């Protein structure tokens, strides 16, 4: 794995992208590369092609950053300023959102709220200095269903100043696609029926942009594995047969190292997990990695394939697993201001229907509808739809800047929601009344049907920030709002 953060790497990466699959884009490359300065990244969303059905299959036309699926890996150092030039080569407006990064509001990439959209052919320069090390990602925040669903996503890795003691640092960008029988991206984005249920869950999952092949490992090695779920809607629950991964960070933020409950790693859309895995399997053997989130739909994501080589070491590495802390302000819980957010809408569950329930919240939505498309979901009775373009809805709440805030999120729906807040990482305090162990921070917290989760954070970053479900169909159909910090 490259552990480089210098400019030559990003330049080279960019140039390599130019020799990629799409001839048309390759011809556009030289112009863009010449403009690159030291420590710059240049990222151009536009058309591309990818082998989503395997190298022998037909290639699929996708939307991609620098023609690659996933987009170029942006790797920078904690506390090091970065400048990223985005040139829009799509035929529609776009923006780039740096998911999970605590950055100035104007750099957050929400069209209509934090910046004007980047028009086709135009550029926008993002500049920020990431305060936290960890695993993050970037994606568009315009026409999100299609732009994300057609492939626009990339990893954003912020490196610790002192590298952590592992043998390899490995990244798996996991993406879900709905392909038709010819291998094309199936139409029908934004189907309201789907939006009222689990969202557009696809039928093929890629790992780093291709059909997952065996992942070669060596007995005895210690691997840091960064998982990013960039799916529109697919929730994953991964199990590593014969292995005991240790979670060392959630959404980029270090936690107390711990083994997941029941050996299952839950990963909703936009969520990340950093794992440390000691490869204690047998040389020459294969061990399956299984995703069994959806009942009756378990599948083998990939395999850890051990080389026949002798083990790298006999006993697992005896180095600490804990990652260095990030400079997060710690909320003052006893003095925190309290707020509540109630998530409603969607299709009722069978049980709710038997009990005579209807689509709760629907009747109260008319007052606060804005944006495009149907309002199927709501937060505190208000539905903001689309991507946040229409800031006609006043902020749901205004948080006093500098104070600690404690938010209770109540999921009254029958569906799962990875709830995401821009601009902050929050402590996940309680789930259904029970304290959440292992000192977990997150920017996206997964609520099971009927879950209640308490989060807390210091509102130290002024601006208007999105809060929304990261199941994109839910987001664009109303499960979204704006929080003002002032
Ligand atoms: Cu990944 Cu509005 O965010
Ligand atoms: Cu975000
Ligand atoms: Cu949702």
Coil/strand/helix, residue 17: helix
pLDDT interval class at 369 (50, 70, 90): very low
Q: From the CA of 354, how far away is ligand 2's center (Å)?
A: 37
Atom of ligand 1 nearest to the CA of 388: 2
Residues 6+ apart with CB under 8 A from 438: 247, 255, 256, 258
Which is more confident, 162 or 442? Answer: 442
Q: Are residues 373 and 419 in the same domain?
A: yes
Atom of ligand 1 nearest to the CA of 139: 1
Asked if residue 55 has pLDDT above 80, the reply is no
User: Domain end: 162, 187, 203, which one?
Assistant: 162
Nearest residue by C-alpha to atom 1 in ligand 1: 99
Residue 135 placed within a domain: yes
Share of the chain above pLDDT 70, in %: 86
C-alpha radius of gyration, the chain, whole number: 22
User: Are 291 and 298 a contacting pair, CB within 8 Å?
Assistant: yes
Coil/strand/helix, residue 344: strand
Atom of ligand 1 nearest to the CA of 466: 2
Cα–Cα distance for residue pair 136/201, rounded to 1 Å: 22
Q: Are residues 23 and 116 in the same domain?
A: yes
Ligand 1 contact, 141 CB (< 6 A): yes
Nearest residue by C-alpha to atom 3 in ligand 1: 99
Ligand 1 contact, 420 CB (< 6 A): yes
Q: Are residues 115 and 201 in the same domain?
A: no
Residue 320 placed within a domain: no
Ligand 1 contact, 99 CB (< 6 A): yes
The pLDDT value recorded for residue 394 is: 84
Q: Are residues 190 and 52 in the same domain?
A: no
Cα–Cα distance for residue pair 301/323, rounded to 1 Å: 27
The pLDDT value recorded for residue 10 is: 41
Atom of ligand 1 nearest to the CA of 100: 1
The pLDDT value recorded for residue 4 is: 36
Report CA torsion sign: 19, 13, 268, 302: positive
Q: From the CA of 475, how far away is ligand 1's center (Å)?
A: 9
Q: From the CA of 379, how far away is ligand 3's center (Å)?
A: 11
The pLDDT value recorded for residue 163 is: 85
Q: Which letter does DSSP use for residue 333 in this model?
A: G
Q: What is the mean pLDDT of residues 377-396?
A: 80
Note the helical H segments in 49-174: 144-149
Mean pLDDT score across all residues of the chain = 89
Q: Are residues 352 and 418 in the same domain?
A: yes
Residue 5 placed within a domain: no
For the ranges 10-24, 340-354, 428-442, the maximum mean pLDDT occurs at 428-442
Ligand 1 contact, 468 CB (< 6 A): yes
Residue 318 placed within a domain: no
Ligand 1 contact, 422 CB (< 6 A): yes
Cα–Cα distance for residue pair 128/156, rounded to 1 Å: 13
User: Domain end: 291, 306, 321, which one?
Assistant: 306
Ligand sitting nearest the alpha carbon of 474: 3
Asked if residue 29 has pLDDT above 90, the reply is no
- The CATH code of the domain that includes 382 is 2.60.40.420
Q: From the CA of 64, how far away is ligand 1's center (Å)?
A: 17
pLDDT tens for each residue of 41-51: 999 999 999 99
User: Domain end: 162, 196, 221, which one?
Assistant: 162
The pLDDT value recorded for residue 389 is: 59
CA atoms within 13 A on the CB side of 155: 26
Q: For the chain, how many structural domains are there in total?
A: 3
Share of the chain above pLDDT 90, in %: 80
pLDDT tens for each residue of 219-265: 999 999 999 999 999 999 999 999 999 999 999 999 999 999 999 99
Residue 116 placed within a domain: yes
Q: Are residues 261 and 283 in the same domain?
A: yes
Q: What is the mean pLDDT of residues 458-466?
A: 97
Q: From the CA of 360, how far away is ligand 3's center (Å)?
A: 15
Asked if residue 329 has pLDDT above 50, the reply is yes
Quickly tell me which residue has 């149907």 as its tokens: 374
Coil/strand/helix, residue 262: helix
Residue 314 placed within a domain: no
Q: What is the mean pLDDT of residues 187-199?
A: 95
The pLDDT value recorded for residue 273 is: 98
DSSP per-residue codes, 362-399: GGGGGGGEESSS---EEETTBEEETTS--TTSPPSEEE
Q: Are residues 340 and 468 in the same domain?
A: yes
Q: Are residues 353 and 243 in the same domain?
A: no
Q: From the CA of 336, how far away is ligand 1's center (Å)?
A: 25
The pLDDT value recorded for residue 386 is: 75
Cα–Cα distance for residue pair 396/478, rounded to 1 Å: 13
pLDDT tens for each residue of 259-299: 999 999 999 999 999 999 999 999 999 999 999 999 999 99
The pLDDT value recorded for residue 392 is: 65
Atom of ligand 1 nearest to the CA of 270: 1
Residue 4 placed within a domain: no
Q: Are residues 243 and 359 in the same domain?
A: no
pLDDT interval class at 18 (50, 70, 90): very low
Q: What is the mean pLDDT of residues 72-82?
A: 96
Neighbouring-strand partners of residue 287: 304
Ligand 1 contact, 272 CB (< 6 A): no
Q: From the CA of 65, how far away is ligand 1's center (Å)?
A: 17
Residue 242 placed within a domain: yes
Ligand sitting nearest the alpha carbon of 475: 3
The pLDDT value recorded for residue 384 is: 87
The pLDDT value recorded for residue 6 is: 35
Which is more confident, 158 or 367? Answer: 158
User: Are 267 and 229 a contacting pair, CB within 8 Å?
Assistant: yes
Coil/strand/helix, residue 83: strand
Q: From the CA of 467, how far away is ligand 1's center (Å)?
A: 8
Ligand sitting nearest the alpha carbon of 272: 1
pLDDT interval class at 391 (50, 70, 90): low
pLDDT tens for each residue of 109-141: 999 999 999 999 999 999 999 999 999 999 999
Residues 6+ apart with CB under 8 A from 174: 205, 206, 207, 227, 228, 229, 230, 231, 236, 267, 301
Atom of ligand 1 nearest to the CA of 475: 2
Q: Are residues 118 and 234 in the same domain?
A: no
Q: Which letter does DSSP use for residue 116 in this model?
A: P
What domain range is 125 assigned to? 11-162
Q: Are residues 26 and 134 in the same domain?
A: yes
Q: How deeply is 168 buried, as exposed, middle or buried, from its count of CB atoms within 10 A (0-12, 13-18, 19+)?
A: middle
pLDDT interval class at 355 (50, 70, 90): low
Cα–Cα distance for residue pair 75/12, rounded to 1 Å: 13
pLDDT interval class at 53 (50, 70, 90): confident
The pLDDT value recorded for residue 374 is: 78
User: For the whole model, what pTM was predicted?
Assistant: 0.90
Q: From the CA of 399, how far away is ligand 1's center (Å)?
A: 20
User: Are 92 and 436 a contacting pair, CB within 8 Å?
Assistant: no
Which is more confident, 36 or 186? Answer: 186
Edge to edge, what strands does the sheet with 134-139 contain? 71-77, 154-159, 134-139, 97-99
Cα–Cα distance for residue pair 63/71, rounded to 1 Å: 10
Tokens of 172: 């798996």
Q: Are residues 204 and 90 in the same domain?
A: no
Cα–Cα distance for residue pair 417/445, rounded to 1 Å: 8
Cα angle for residues 253, 259, 263 (degrees, 5° grid): 120
Asked if residue 453 has pLDDT above 50, the reply is yes
Longest dimension (CA), the chain: 67
């Amino acid at each position: 794995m490259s552990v480089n953060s210098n400019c030559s790497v990003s330049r080279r990466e960019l140039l390599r992208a130019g020799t990629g699959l799409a001839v048309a884009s390759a011809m556009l490359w030289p112009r863009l590369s010449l403009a690159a300065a030291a420590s710059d990244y240049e990222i151009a969303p536009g058309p591309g092609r990818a082998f989503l059905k395997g190298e022998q299959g037909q290639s699929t036309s996708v939307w991609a950053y620098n023609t690659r699926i996933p987009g170029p890996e942006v790797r920078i150092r904690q506390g090091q300023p970065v400048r990223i030039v985005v040139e829009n080569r799509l035929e529609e407006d776009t923006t780039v959102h740096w998911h999970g990064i605590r950055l100035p509001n104007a750099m957050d990439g929400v069209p209509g709220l934090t910046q004007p959209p980047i028009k086709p052919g135009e550029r926008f320069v993002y500049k920020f200095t990431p305060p936290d090390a960890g695993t993050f990602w970037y994606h568009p925040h315009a026409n999100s269903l299609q732009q994300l669903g057609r492939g626009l996503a990339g990893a954003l890795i912020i490196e610790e100043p002192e590298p952590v003691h592992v043998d390899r640092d490995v990244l798996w960008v996991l993406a879900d696609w709905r392909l038709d029988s010819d291998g094309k991206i199936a139409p029908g984005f934004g189907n309201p029926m789907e939006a009222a249920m689990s969202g557009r869950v696809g039928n093929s999952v890629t790992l780093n942009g291709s059909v997952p092949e065996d992942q070669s490992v060596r007995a005895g090695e210690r691997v840091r594995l960064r998982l990013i779920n960039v799916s529109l809607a697919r929730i994953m629950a991964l199990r590593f047969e014969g292995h005991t991964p240790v979670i060392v960070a959630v959404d980029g933020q270090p936690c107390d190292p711990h083994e997941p409950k029941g050996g299952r790693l839950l990963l909703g859309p936009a969520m990340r997990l950093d794992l440390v895995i000691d490869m204690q399997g047998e040389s020459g053997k294969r061990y399956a990695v299984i995703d069994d989130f959806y009942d009756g739909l378990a599948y083998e994501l990939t395999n850890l394939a051990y080389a026949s080589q002798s083990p790298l070491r006999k006993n697992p590495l005896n180095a600490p697993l804990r990652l260095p802390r990030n400079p997060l302000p710690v909320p003052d819980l006893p003095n925190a201001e309290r707020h509540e957010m109630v998530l409603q809408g969607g299709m009722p569950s069978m049980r709710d229907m038997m009990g005579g329930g209807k689509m709760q919240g629907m009747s109260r939505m008319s007052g606060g509808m804005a944006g495009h498309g149907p309002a199927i979901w709501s937060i505190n009775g208000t539905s903001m739809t689309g991507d946040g373009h229409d800031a006609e809805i006043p902020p749901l709440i205004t948080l006093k800047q500098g104070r600690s805030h404690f938010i209770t999120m109540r999921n009254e729906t029958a569906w799962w929601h990875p709830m995401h807040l821009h601009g902050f990482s929050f402590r996940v305090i309680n789930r259904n009344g029970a304290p959440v162990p292992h000192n977990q921070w997150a920017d996206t917290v997964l609520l099971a049907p009927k879950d209640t989760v308490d989060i807390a954070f210091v509102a130290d970053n002024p601006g208007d920030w999105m809060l929304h479900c990261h199941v994109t169909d839910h987001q664009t159909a109303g499960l979204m709002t704006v929080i003002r910090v002032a």
